[in-house]
Chains A and B, each alone.
Chain A
Amino acid sequence: MTDLSWIEQALTAARPQAVAALLRYFRDLDTAEEAFQEACLRALKNWPKNGPPRDPTAWLIFVGRNAAIDSVRRGSRQEELPPEEKISDLDDVEGDMVERLDNSDYRDDVLRLLFVCCHPELPATQQIALALRIVSGLTVPQIARAFLVGESAMEQRITRAKARIAKAGIPFGTPGAVERAERLAAVAAMIYLVFNEGYSAEADTTAQRRPLCDEAIRLSRLLLRLFPTEPEIMGLTALLLLQHARADARFDADGTAVLLDEQDRTLWNRAMIAEGLALVDKAMRHRRPGAYQIQAAIAALHARAARAEETDWAEISLLYRALEQLQPSPVVTLNRAVAVAKADGPEVALDLIEPLAERLSGYFYFFGVKGNLLMQLGRNGEARAAFDRAISLARTPAEAAHIRMHLDRLGGARETKRRTTAKA
């Protein structure tokens, strides 16, 4: 690895904390970003010559801060004086470079920076784009590619989001305990959105979207480092790691989605699984269950099973039950039914999903699961009807193809009962 690529990685790693600290000094996103940019340019010039500093983040904050102040000063000679709020916080500017921000400063800075991106007025897509741009430092073309939209459209989306935030104002006070917990929850939800944006991808776009998953994991780890005792953040990080560990097994060579049961588990990423399992263990010790922890615990049970047949479905159905109580939703119940079907048989599961029919009448997965349960019970006519409905609700060709495979299987069963499966 060349020095230059090390420097780039160090700059990327330092970015969230550095931009967050600069945002506290300058109270303006654009100024903070420009200051960081300038500091990076100087780092690229300086570090190869003098070697990397012991604390790259502190270096970047210090240099970025001075560079921005210089440019404010230069500007002030030509134009009018800078507004009061731009200079009010800069008295300690000459403070020496050794000054280290302690962890609690960093913590609230980074949380603020992330929280800024979660402004309730911003639609989810803008929140994600903004976080990737500002916090992760992905370029607009990179983000546009991951979202499968044009660059100018993405540029606009980010500009619009920034304008909204500027108008709404950024909360600069040190948050109290309740406020901090609320921010943490909002930020966790945003990180999960980033992950899902990358995860729910189709085979042909996974490569493009995968950076979103990597980025979400990076942000989640960052959050965990700042809040090392929050079991839900342990849960979130574990959940993302355990899901992402399966990335290489989720699609076959033709790009068809491969269900969990049928995945080649040797393709799962063992390092991610080790980290995810360790975090689940850590979180459980706190005995403060939460939605991310429960979902991570479910993913952990899948990860622990060397073969699909070894999956502890009884435990998984209990965990879904717990999740259902914590976050009641028909989709969670539907997931529980899938686990119940494996543990207690399709009949019980079918009873469980019957009451959901009305609320999930437009939901692809509901009819997919229903068709599957009916098929297992040998009620092929009803199964076929459910699968037909599922196909009509499919959002992607891959979803439709998957259901058609079941329909083929039904057809096959009618023709030759002894044929094992239609799946290649």
Chain B
Amino acid sequence: MLYAILCYSDENVVGSWTKEEDDACLARLKVVQDRVAVEGRMGPVARLVPTTAATTLRKGREEPLVIDGPFAETKEQLLGFYTIDCASLDEAIDFAKELAAANPAPGSYEIRPVRLFRPGVLPA
């Protein structure tokens, strides 16, 4: 079974780390990841840019709405995620709009730039 592990923390605190503190934390996390990676079990890892850089696409009755800021509702649950390489935010929003059109369920797509990405070693 594949598991996704989603990380939640206070970005104010993490964002106030010095480069040294941040590097040290990443290095410790890397040790944990590498142990799983040598066994061929590590999938993609991403670190997101702070939520201030987030944009949210909310499906409405007609045109989906583009909203500045992260997803803030609590009535919906996280069901999945995509990683996509785009030349601009507009391109990412367009892709999310296509997803929205293809999926009949109501909901939202939070679009977050990624600052660190490791593809991992898992076979498709």
Contact = CB atoms under 8 A, between A and B. Distances in A.
B69 A228 contact: yes
A55 to B, nearest CB: 10
Nearest to A228: B69
Contact of A225 (B17, B25, B52, B88): B52
B49 interface: yes
B29 to A, nearest CB: 12
Interface in A13-58: 13-14, 56
A180 interface: no
Contacts of A269: 19
B77 interface: no
Range for the number of chain A residues in contact with chain B: 20 to 34
Contact of B51 (A218, A222, A225, A274): A225
Interface string B1-29: 00000000010110111010100110000
B55 A282 contact: yes
B115 A282 contact: no
Range for the number of chain B residues in contact with chain A: 20 to 34
Contacts of A274: 49, 113-115
Contacts of B25: 1
B67 to A, nearest CB: 8
B107 interface: no
A281 interface: yes
Contacts of B39: none
A224 interface: yes
Given A1-B21, A1-B25, A271-B115, A278 B10 contact: no
Majority secondary structure of chain A interface residues (helix, strand, loop or mixed):
helix
Nearest to B14: A9
A229 B69 contact: yes
B92 to A, nearest CB: 9
Contact of A218 (B10, B15, B90, B116): B15
Given A12-B16, A281-B89, A275 B53 contact: yes
Given A275-B115, A278-B49, A229 B15 contact: no
Given A221-B52, A228-B68, 17 more contacts: A9-B13, A9-B17, A12-B16, A13-B13, A221-B15, A221-B50, A229-B67, A229-B68, A229-B69, A269-B19, A271-B116, A275-B52, A275-B115, A278-B49, A281-B89, A282-B89, A285-B89
Among all A-B residue pairs, the 8 with the closest Cβ atoms: A13-B12, A228-B69, A281-B89, A278-B53, A278-B113, A229-B68, A274-B115, A228-B68
